[in-house]
């Protein structure tokens, strides 16, 4: 019997609406910066490549996210659907953050995701570039947490 926390709707096969929903749910989760909760969206044996780091299971993913959000302060993320198939989704994204010295960055990336039949992400391949920005160049100004529904997405922001 599958535990409720081991099923993450929407389930594959994806259509346009469910792919958009899956992307927004991932954005919302990462914007929560709750590593334990976010890690539950990944299979126990999830495989990631994030920059030059390789993740081999859900517990590694949780630890990675804890380290990430301890370093990337005031993290705010926007994801946008790029393409999808029955059980795969490609996204592009940008996030803004600062380090412990107050230096601001906008990080741009692309991710390829693969899901199992329970809607858990089994593979995540991320390519990311960091652009130093001045604080006055920031575009993501909502309070920490979920991006408001009326906040522009990447395309509307010209990103």
Q: 57-84 pLDDT, tens per residue? A: 999 999 999 999 999 999 999 999 999 9
In the prediction, which pLDDT does 1 show? 45
41 in helix, strand or coil?
Answer: coil
Average pLDDT, the chain: 96
Q: Where are the alpha helices (DSSP H) in 33-116?
A: 35-39, 58-71
Q: 86-136 pLDDT, tens per residue? A: 999 999 999 999 999 999 999 999 999 999 999 999 999 999 999 999 999
Query: CA-CA distances (angstroms) from residue 34 to 37, 63, 83?
Result: 5, 11, 27
- Residues written for the chain: 159
User: Under a CB-based contact definition with an 8 Å cutoff, are residues 26 and 42 in contact?
Assistant: no
In the prediction, which pLDDT does 3 show? 58
User: pTM for the full model?
Assistant: 0.95
pLDDT score of 4 more than 90? no
- Residue 29's H or E segment, with its range, is helix 16-32
């Amino acid at each position: 019997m599958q535990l409720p926390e081991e099923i993450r709707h929407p389930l594959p096969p994806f259509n346009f609406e469910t792919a958009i929903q899956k992307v927004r749910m991932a954005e919302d989760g990462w914007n929560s910066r709750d590593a334990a909760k976010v890690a539950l969206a990944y299979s126990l044996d999830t495989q990631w490549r994030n920059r030059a780091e390789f993740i081999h299971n859900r517990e590694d993913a949780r630890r990675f996210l804890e380290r990430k959000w301890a370093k990337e302060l005031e993290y705010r993320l926007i994801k946008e659907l790029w393409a999808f198939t029955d059980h795969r989704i490609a996204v592009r994204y940008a996030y803004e953050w600062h380090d412990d010295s107050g230096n601001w960055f906008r990080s741009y990336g692309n991710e390829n995701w693969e899901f199992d039949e329970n809607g858990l992400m089994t593979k995540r391949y991320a390519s990311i570039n960091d652009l130093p920005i001045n604080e006055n160049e920031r575009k993501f100004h909502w309070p920490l947490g979920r991006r408001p529904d009326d906040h522009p997405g990447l395309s509307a922001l010209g990103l």
